[in-house]
Amino acid sequence: MKALSCVLQKGFAVLVALFFLSAGAGAVEKKHDFKVAWSIYSGWMPWGYASEHGIIDKWAKKYGIKIELVQLNDYIESINQYTAGAFDACGMTNMDALTIPGANGVDTTGLILGDYSNGNDAIVLKSGKRFADIKGQQVNLVELSVSDYLMARALDINGMTQRDIKIMNTSDADAVASFTTPDVTAAALWNPQLSMVLKQNPGAVEVFNSKQIPGEIIDMMAVNTQVLEANPELGKALVGAWFETLQLMSGDSDFAKAARTSMAERSGTDLAGYEAQLTQTMLFYTPGSALTFARAASLRDTMDKVRQFSFSKGLLGQGVTSADEVGMQFADGSTLGNKDNIKLRFDTRFVAMAMNNQL
């Protein structure tokens, strides 16, 4: 299904989210059944494997709950539905957690910071060999997403501004097909779409990627904060299932290769292609490595860049006059922005439990 423009989608999400918030403001509910949304991305394929192979069910049963993982083909739509209350948790990036649920008043917790893009997001040109050649071109990307952020950072690093290009909003579901058309000459993409585009267009050149902004595009499992606080069993089950799956897919054993092959096929590639994508994804395979990243001081600096960019794009809401409007809280308790309006939290309690074998 072709996505509407992100602007319209986010506007719809605002209205629906406000309805849910007004209907249940302050409500903290103990639940038994949970729904979790995810979309196709190389760093999120373990979620699909965990669901298909009973790992999610195993951990849910351990804590006396049920968890349904639902794959949505459109990334932004998955976040919109989470924001509207259709899902209790959703795979999303750090920026989108701030600008969609956070800016729309939905208090969200980054439960698992699973990886950061280290080349899995890139800008590709059909004609031209360097980034400067993008000047004057139309760039297809998922507008107001991390692809837009990647483009803004690339322009800034190369001494250019958005006035030097024209952005055309394109759903991630349509990214590969649109790049084959003659009128599309430039695009910002993430994997697996990025790999597909490069394979199908041998003359295309990657002129900028996320390796040049390390640690800034973070992929995480985000959970509604109120749901998590009322139902810590959900956090424990998701964290337990995630790290069990990462352990199973790691290494050179036949079982690990079979697991990665399954993930590759589901994402539309083969084992070699998927493993190539994994080399561009800084997956935190152990709770300890994930914990170190989530507690690092650099995360605060990254989120400061993200919120300033988001404010400059008007993504923090209508009438917002400062990047401080939407507050964030980090693992050490420190904050950025309005302390009375914390809508994005980085909570390492559950990952720490996994590291200490307390799940």
Summarised one tens digit per residue, pLDDT across range 173-218 is 899 999 999 999 999 999 999 999 999 999 999 999 999 999 999 9
Residue 6 has pLDDT above 60, yes or no: no
pLDDT, mean of residues 45-65: 98
pLDDT at residue number 251? 93
Answer for the pair 284, 74: CB distance below 8 angstroms, yes or no: no
pTM attached to this predicted model? 0.88
For residue 264, count other CB atoms closer than 10 A to its CB.
22
Check whether 330 has a pLDDT greater than 70. Answer: yes
Sign, Cα dihedral of 60, 61, 66, 70: positive
Average pLDDT (49-63) is 98
Task: Name the token pair of 206.
Answer: 């990657």
Provide the strand spans (E) within 182-314: 186-190, 205-209, 218-224, 281-283
Q: Is the pLDDT of residue 282 over 60?
A: yes
Q: Where are the domains of the chain?
A: 6-115+216-355, 121-212
Q: What is the mean pLDDT of residues 283-303?
A: 97
- For the chain, list the strands marked E by DSSP: 33-38, 66-71, 89-93, 108-117, 121-125, 138-141, 166-169, 186-190, 205-209, 218-224, 281-283, 327-329, 335-336, 342-346
Q: How confident is the model at residue 318 (pLDDT cuts 50, 70, 90)?
A: confident
The tokens for 185 are: 């000459």
Residues 52, 254: Cα–Cα separation, whole Å:
18
CATH class of 121-212: alpha beta
Provide φ and ψ at 39, rounded to 5°: -135, 165
Chain segment 148-174, per-residue pLDDT in tens: 999 999 999 999 999 999 999 999 889
Q: Computed over its alpha carbons, how large is the radius of gyration of the chain?
A: 19
**pLDDT for 233:** 98
- Taking only the tens place, the pLDDT of each residue in 106-157 is 999 999 999 999 999 999 999 889 999 999 999 999 987 889 999 999 999 9
Q: Which two tokens stand for residue 54?
A: 């009973």
Query: Is the CATH number of domain 6-115+216-355 2.60.40.1170?
Result: no
Q: Which of 216, 243, 235, 232 shows the shortest CA–CA distance to 310?
A: 216
- Over residues 250-271, mean pLDDT: 96
* Residue 17 or residue 176, greater confidence: 176
b/e per residue, 119-153, with b = 16+ CB within 10 A?
Answer: bbbbbbbbebeebeebeebebbbbbbbbbbbbbeb
What is the rounded CA–CA span in Å between residue 265 and residue 332? 40
Q: How confident is the model at residue 28 (pLDDT cuts 50, 70, 90)?
A: low
Q: What is the pLDDT of residue 27?
A: 58
